[in-house]
Each structure stands twice: as C-alpha cells, then as structure tokens.
Structure 1
Amino acid sequence: MMSSHHNPHVVLFPFMSKGHTIPLLQLARLLLLRRGVALTIFTTPANRPFFSKSLSDVVDAISLIDLPFPENIPGVPPGIESTDKLPSMSLFPAFAAATKLMKPHFERALNALPPVSFMITDGFLGWTLDSANNLGIPRLVYFGMSYFSSVVSRSVTSAGLILKPNGDDEAFTVPDFPWLSVTRNDFDAPFRDREPKGPLFDFVTEQMVATVNSHGLVMNSFCDLEHVYMEFYNRNLVPKSWPVGPFCLAEPRRKPPPENQEKPSYIKWLDGFHEQGKQVLYVAFGSQAEISPEQLREIKVGLEESEVNFLWVVRTHESELDGFEDRVKNRGLLVREWVDQREILGHPSVNGFVSHCGWNSVLESICAAVPIAAWPMMAEQHLNARMVVEEMKIGVRVESCNGSVRGFVKSESVEKAVRELMEGEIGKSARKKVKELSNSAINAIKEGGSSWLKLDELINEFHAKMKKNPDM
C-alpha cells in the first residue's frame, strides 16, 4: 500500500463483534471506490480470517494489521476475541474493558504507518481517542445507530423524562418531536435506570464522553431516510455527523458459484420455492439476543400455525424443537450455520423479515425492499422498531400479550404479525413503501448521490487539514 500527503490515508478499527465489524468492512469498500485512498484496517488474530474472507476481492488494496487480544482477563474465557463467542452478554463489560490493553500495540502500529489523514474507530473503542490525540490524528466515530434512535435518546434523557413515568409502559411525548410517544421500556439499561450505576453505565458514559470530544460521527444512514432527525442532530448536537450509507450497498452481489461448487443448502432451498412461485418469510434475531426456551416454543407454534413458508436462522442451543422440523419440513427450514443475510434478503422468493431490528438488519431489509415484522430484543432496537412501524411504515409490530414492548409474545401474536406482513393490507402497503426507500438508498450511494457527496466532503475536509499540517 502506497500513501503520501497527496493521497488520503484512512485507518479503520472495528469493535470485535459481527454487528459492528460487518458495516465497517462495508464502509471500507465505499472508501476504496475513491481513487487514491489508502486504507489500513486493524483486527485481532482470531478475527482476521473473517476480515480476509469478507474483503477477499479487494484485500490486495488494503493493509490489514493484527493486534494481539489481551489474555487472562477475568470473566473472559480464553481464546474468545469476539462478543458473539461469549457464553453470555453479561460478560460484555469485562470484554469491552479488556480492549483498552491493546492501546500500546495500536499506537506502535500507527507510528509505523505512512501519514494518516484520519481514523474511524468504533464507538465502543473510546480509548482510541487518546491514541489519536497522542499522535495528532483526527478520530471519527462509528456507532451502529440511526439518527432517529440517537436524537430521541438524547432528547428524552436530557429532559429527564425517562425517570418520571410511574410505570415502565406509560407513554410520554418526546420533547423535540411532539408527534412521537415512547415509554421507559423503549430504552435499554443503563439509560432507563432511575439510579444508573455499575460497569456497564461506566463504560457507556466513557464512550459518550470520547465521542463528544472526537472530530466527527460517521453514520450508516442517508438523507432521504431520516432527514428530519439528521437535521436536528447537526443543528443541536456534537460532534458533526456525515450520513454516508447504506454501507451494505457497497458490497457486490454474490456471483453464482462455479459449476463445480454448490450453492449453500439454504439458497438451494429458497430457489425451489422461487421456481414454484411461492413466497418465503425470513426469521432471524441476530447473534446476540438471548431468547428463553419458553419464548422459542411460542415462536415455533406461531410459525407452524401461520402456514407460511419460512427460513429461520437459529443458534445451536436454540434448535431442539420437539419434532418441529419434521412437522414443517415441506414449508420451513431451520438453519444453524452462519448465513449471508443480504443474499437471503435479496433472494426473489423472500418477501418478509421477522427481525430484532438491529440497525444493520433494518438497512439491509430496506435495501432489499423487504418489509419487516418488528420484534426488538435489546439495545436501541425498540426505538428502531418504532421507526420501522410508526415513522417509515415499512412493517408491522409483533405485539406482546400484555401490551409491553418488552413483554412475552404468545404464538397467536406471532401468527397474526406473520400473516399480516405476508398476506394482509398493511403488509402490502409496507411493501410499497419499502420499495420506494430502497430506490432512494440506491440513489444515495451512487456517484453524485447524497451519501456519495457526503463521503467526498468528509475525506476532503480531513485530508486538506493533514496537507496543511504535515506533522499530524
């Protein structure tokens, strides 16, 4: 990799979690579309194979550097270097704190690189701000959140409203957006706690302080998707943000495999339904959500009773389902392996998505023009679900039995949501709206589109500063 003051040199450092890594690897592709941009990406030894495979067609244009992951960390099992391998998400604070021990290795590696125009590091790696300041490199932050969830969270917490309702499901109005109502249950710990404290609260606070003191925020979004919330953010909050997504559209469509190489079994299964002219529902809740055995049983019954065709991605420990697979074998498939979600959503047979509403999944569904049955599980997913159903109107909500956004969902609600999405009038309307948004997303990322221009603006702004100050 060649770099000079005449060419921008960008450093990317994703957090060690698939949901954080994948979008930054997609952003790497967007950066490589800019002629002359040199790119360095940091990872760890155990994560490197995933990076190399994901970027196999462009790996020669990238410098990929391994940093040793800390060993003998209390609470973190040996050999684990990614959160999706943790036996429980209760170990997350210990895992995240351990990444700070990578700092001296990171700084030594940065010192050995050609001059860096700017770095984009994950919001969970707040300690990289100190490294960036030590070496005179502007740090920009990537958080895998929408503008909507970001500004609604800030609006509610800054007004102290999240602490006022007596009940967790008592609705109140968002001050800066009076057309929106939310509940305490729409927010995850530690934001919803009346007296927030503990390792997770300390970690989140530390990352927020580091973000505010960084040079900018890179957003996986685009102007037409959430213009009102983007404008509010850039008028009222810091640091400055650049909407340059959807990142996933930078990935090339998977080419058909050579004749001597088989397609994945789940794609061949979808092909069969497409040949019959039948629609399929995709069901996936991400790699981090922890679903109880009781809730899994209700999902199983709801899908079985709905009579829709479905492909359900489950984790190994969730897959003992009492003969369920035999009963639905003619119209349902359970997949226990890592899947290419974009390939599934882009398959012509897939016409609906039961999703936890992680922001990556929402964007991938929009780009594939597939409507969503929203079933949030954790983090800011409950706010994303409100955006999907109430703001964008590209889906339906999977309702709990007691009306709480965090309540238990009975099989009847699963069946109702699935049928409405795949066959009902709301589903038809959502399908039309998501198609419009899909077209807007494609246009945003094209040369001359809003996201294309914003990324150019970002690169030019920070590279120009470096050229003025070669010692950065």
Structure 2
Amino acid sequence: QNQPPKLDQLKITLQNENLEHLTKVVVVMVPLPAQGHLNQLLHLSHVITTYGIPVHYAGSASHNRQVKLRLNGWDSQSLTNIHFNDFELPSYNSPPPNIDHSNPFPQHSQPLLEATMHLRQPVFHFMKQLSIKYSRVVVIHDNSMAYVVQDVKLIPNGEAYNFIPICAFTYFTSVWESMPQEEKLFKVDRNDIPECMPSKEGCVSEEMLEFLVNLLKCLGFESGWLYNTSRVIDGRYVELLEKLSSAKGKNIKHYALGPFNPVVVKSESGKNRNQCLKWLDEQVKGSVIYVSFGSTTSLTDDQIEELANGLERCGEKFIWVLRRADPNDVFAEADKVKRPQLRSGYEERIKDRGIVVKDWAPQLEILAHPSVGGLMSHCGWNSCMESMSMGVPILAWPMHSDQPMNSFFVSNMLRIGVLMRDWEHRDEIVKSSEIENAVKTLMVSEKGMEMKKRVEELDKAVRGSVAERGISYLERDAFIAHISR
C-alpha cells in the first residue's frame, strides 16, 4: 500500500484549440475520511458554490452519506449544489474504537487511512475526465490526502491546494519546533512561540505518526495552502507560514478563508427540529453549558461517572452529548460500538436541569442558540472555530492530536477559555469536584464573565471578517479570482 500504483506516465495533452471553448473552472474536494475533516471541506464546498463554481466532493459512499446526514447550519437544500462522487474502498480490517484512558488517540482509524491510498488511481481518472470538460481543474485536498491527489501534476490544466485542517498557530509552532536550527532562516519573536506550550508527547501514536509523516512527503506539487481560520484569529501565524514558504523558495499562496461554517445558522423547524433545541428554547439566555468531545473520543466508564457527578453537582444547566468515538463506517459498524451507560436514575434526577443526548447532535445549531453560554470541549479545530464564531467561551479538555495546542491557544493566547487540566496530567481521571469547579468558573465567576466578554468581541470580529469587505470576505474573493483567472 505504500508503493505508488503504476500509472501511465504519459502526460495528458490537450490541444489549444480544444481549450478555447472551455471557460469554466471546477473544484474537486478530497477530504480525509474523519468527521472533523469531512465537515470542514463540506462547509468550504458550500462557500465556493455561492460563487457559481461547480464543486465535486470525492469520498467513499459511506463517508459521503455520513457528512451529508450530519450537515447542520445550512439549508439542507444547499446540498443539491454539490456533486458527491462515491468511490469504492478496498476491504480492510476495521477494529472498533479503543476505550483506553492512557491512549485516547483513535488508532482504529489507521486501517481506513491506509485503505484510502488506493483511491489514487480512481481519483486521477476522475480528474482526467474533468480536465476535458473544464478549462481548469482545482483540487482542494486535506493535508493528509496528498498521496491520493499527487498525480494532478500530470494534468496541464490542473492545480492543487493543500488544506490545513488545524489552527495556523498549532501548525506553525509544530513545524517550527521540529525544524533543525540551520533551516530556520529567520528569527521568530519570543512572544510568538511561548515557552510553556504543551508537549507533543501522547498526542499521536508512533505508528500513526510514522504513517502521516510518509504521506506528507508527497507534498510539494501544490499551488497554495488554505486555512479554516480568519486573520482576526491567528493571522500572525498565517503570516509566519507565508514567510516560511518564501524562505524555502516556494512560490505558493496562502489563503485564510475561514470560518468555513456559516456565522448565521439556519435551523430546521417544526417536527424536524432537534429535541435538544426545543429544550434550549425554554432556557434562560446564556444559562446552559454544552458538553461534547467530538467524534474521535471515547471516555472510559470511570471518567463518565466523574463527569456525570460533576455536572449534577455544579448546579448549572447542561446538554451532554454522551457517545463513543465513531467507528470507521458509522453505518455498517455501529453494532461494534458499545454505548456508554449512566447509573440508573441519573437522567431522572437531572431532568429539570439537563439532558443527555446519546446520538449525533447538531452542534453548530446548539452553539448558535442564545441559551448556550459555554462549551466543554476536546478542542478539535471544528469545535473551536464554531465556538468562536458563535461567541461561546470554552472549557478546554484536550484528548489527542492537535487538541492540546488548540486548547493552549484558546486559553492562553486568546484567553477565551479555561483549561480543564494540564496536558502533563492527561493520564489522570478528572474528578467530579474539579469538573464542578471548572463549570462554575466558566459559567458564573467573574473570570468567566471576562472570558465571555472577550469571546463576544472576537465573535464580532470574526463575523465582520466574513461580512462584505471584511478580511476573510476579501480573501475568499482573491482565492476565487485566482483559480478563475
């Protein structure tokens, strides 16, 4: 699987006269098949279609179905503007999600990622087909899908853009710290890379790290990098990444186009309205904390017990999404995932103050609801961006991957959140008393009110950035103009 498939190395040749009647550009999205990655590029697909550019979303049938089913924040009819292209994956060993407090990284996803490497030939064939119909084929691919799309360089009217699915702060600091000193061709201000950042230890398993590093070696054919952030959030680090590219002699463009998610959320109405949104309608403004750890985290039974007790004792109202990590195929493998259990009588005791959601919840719509005043989160970048663009402060509880750095960024740099625990204590169970105190700090303390004011100011700036003539609005225009040139 690590060997490149044999391809016809003869480049596609298109006669100039055949290109004259081709005036349209087409975009092909190639996401990593994990919910947080699928979701970001689906949001970006919606943004691009508003410019009248056709977008093809390329993935397996199961993952395309998953991302469509979980779409929220947009009118469901908007999906008709996106072409979903289903590709078949080879069979692979798919273990259930691991429930291990000492190693919460979703190692079960590695066989799926290895299987996606077989998409190289069918995706190349698809790009070739489009290249005959359009004047330019623009491929936007997840950073970790470079292997699959690398043959776009064989297409004369094709070009690729590498999507960075994490925070620009997290990406730059990680790259900079891993570089040998002799390759650092410029100096970075000490305030840009704080000394007290969390370590990378425990973020990713050694097997997955080796696998991802090998995939990233395929990069170098792209025309630019895209970020799901706004320069009002971490523009300094987008600038440093631009500077790093220039220092390495790479003539590529960097575009901060975020937030990809809508800042004005469209919610389903009537009988289709989610039950938890109906419950929120009855609550006081800013009184509810939303608790969710994303699609790749499974809490242990002991930690669930402590969290349940902490939420019960804190006295604050809450919505708690209690579910295990997604299996590789959320439809075919659902029976492999054992649902987490609460002690008998718990939901009855808290029914006047909180609700427990045991399935997928419309997070963006929940965060946009005026009754929500806080988010307890693993700090995946999707959740961070959605929370910032809805003016909701964060109780940061990182689990793996980029989450410790994202948590540091929102709590120490932006100061719109508070850490649930230091990363160095990640192997320890967080006790109910700590959870109770943290929730009270976020929701009712003076410190929490100050964080709320800061995130509301940031929310205003983020919304302004995507409004007409805002910085992200102009950057989107510049990107569309560039690919449509």
The answer, yes or no, to whether TM exceeds 0.5 is yes
Instruction: Decide which of 414, 424, 445 is 1:392's aligned counterpart.
Output: 414
Aligned to 1:69: 89
Cα distance change on mapping 1:397 and 1:174 into 2, 3 Å:
farther
Say whether 1:433 aligns with 2:454: yes
Q: Secondary structure at the match of 2:225?
A: strand
CA 1:159–1:176 in structure 2 vs 1: closer, same or farther (change >3 Å)?
Answer: farther
CA contact (8 A) 2:37 2:142 kept: yes
The answer to whether the Cα contact below 8 Å between 1:120 and 1:139 also exists between their aligned partners in 2 is yes
1:190-236 per-residue CA deviation (whole Å, 9 max, x = no partner) reads 5xxxxxx54x2332112322334422211000111112212111111
C-alpha contact (below 8 Å) 1:41/1:62 kept by paired residues: yes
1:222 to 214, 224, 230: 230
In structure 2, C-alpha distance between the alignment counterparts of 1:52 and 1:445, rounded to whole Å:
24
Question: What does 1:71-90 correspond to in 2, within 5 Å?
Answer: 71=91, 73=92, 75-76=93-94, 89-90=106-107
Determine which of 369, 388, 407 is the counterpart of 1:347: 369
* Distance 1:97-1:309 versus aligned 2 partners, 3 A rule: same
Residues 1:278 and 1:122: Cα distance change in structure 2 (over 3 Å):
closer
C-alpha spacing 1:174/1:223, structure 2 compared with 1 (3 Å): closer
Change (3 A) 1:129 1:43: closer
Deviation at residue 153 of structure 1 after TM alignment: 0.7
Q: Render the CA deviation track for 1:419-466: whole Å, top value 9, x for unaligned.
A: 0000011110111111111111111112322112212222322332xx
CA spacing shift, 1:412–1:174, aligned 2, 3 Å: farther
Deviations 1:38-77 (A, max 9, x none): 2222122223334555474233433221111222x2x226
Mapping 1:112-191, distance limit 5 Å: 112-113=129-130, 114-115=133-134, 116-136=136-156, 137-159=158-180, 177=192, 179-184=194-199, 188-189=203-204
2:260 to 224, 247, 258: 247
Aligned to 1:460: 481
* 1:281 paired residue number: 289
TM-score (norm 1): 0.83
- What is aligned with 1:42? 58
Q: How far did 1:174 drift?
A: 9.3
- 8 Å CA contact retained: 2:95, 2:108: no
Does residue 1:320 correspond to 2:341, yes or no?
yes
C-alpha deviation, 1:175, in angstroms: 6.1
Residue 47 of structure 1 aligns to which amino acid in structure 2? H
Q: Partner letter of residue 15 of structure 1? A: L
Q: CA deviation at 1:282?
A: 0.3
1:106-138 Cα shifts (integer Å, max 9, x gaps): 122222222233110112212134221222421
C-alpha separation in 1, matches of 2:81 and 2:27? 12
1:257 equivalent in structure 2: 269
Equivalent residue number for residue 232 of structure 1: 240
How has the CA–CA distance of structure 1 residues 325 and 125 changed in structure 2, closer, same or farther, with 3 Å as cutoff? same
C-alpha distance 7-185 of structure 1, shift in aligned 2 (>3 A): closer
* TM-score, normalised by the number of residues in structure 2: 0.81
Q: Which moved more, 1:420-429 or 1:402-411?
A: 402-411
Task: Quote how far apart the aligned CAs of 1:354 are.
Answer: 0.4
Distance (Å, rounded) in 2 between the aligned partners of 1:59 and 1:396: 36
Paired residue secondary structure (1:102): helix
Residues 231-266 of structure 1, C-alpha deviation per residue, up to 9 Å, x if partnerless? Answer: 11111136542100000027x6224524xx252211
Shift in Å at residue 30 of structure 1?
Answer: 1.1
- Tell me the distance in 1 between the aligned counterparts of 2:432 and 2:57: 44
Task: Please say if residues 379 and 407 of structure 2, whose CA atoms lie closer than 8 Å, have aligned partners that are also in contact.
Answer: yes
Pair 152,406 (structure 1): closer, same or farther in 2 beyond 3 Å: farther
CA RMSD of aligned residues (A): 2.7
Tell me the equivalent position of 1:169: none
SS in 1 for 2:29: strand
Superposition map of 1:304-453 within 5 A = 304-315=312-323, 317=338, 319-323=340-344, 324-399=346-421, 404-405=425-426, 407-453=428-474
Equivalent-residue separation in structure 1 for 2:54 and 2:286 (angstroms) = 46
CA contact (8 A) 1:187 1:383 kept: no
The answer on 1:94 being equivalent to 2:111 is yes
**One-letter identity of the residue aligned with 1:331:** R
Q: Which amino acid aligns with 2:378?
A: H
Structure 1 match to 2:43: 26
Cα 1:380/1:223, change in 2 over 3 Å: same
- Matched length: 427
Amino acid at match of 1:90: Q
Query: Is 2:218 the counterpart of 1:210?
Result: yes
Letter in 2 for 1:96: L
1:58 maps to 78
1:354 alignment partner AA: M
Deviation at 1:4, TM superposition (A): 6.5
Higher relative contact order at CA 8 Å, sep ≥6: structure 1 or structure 2? 2
Give, in whole Å, the separation in 2 of the partners of 1:77 and 1:403: 28
Instruction: Specify every segment of 5 or more residues in structure 1 that has no aligned partner in the other structure, as ranges.
Output: 81-86, 161-172, 191-196, 465-472
- Identity among equivalent pairs (%): 26
Q: C-alpha separation between the residues in 1 aligned to 2:116 and 2:471?
A: 35
Partner of 1:468: none
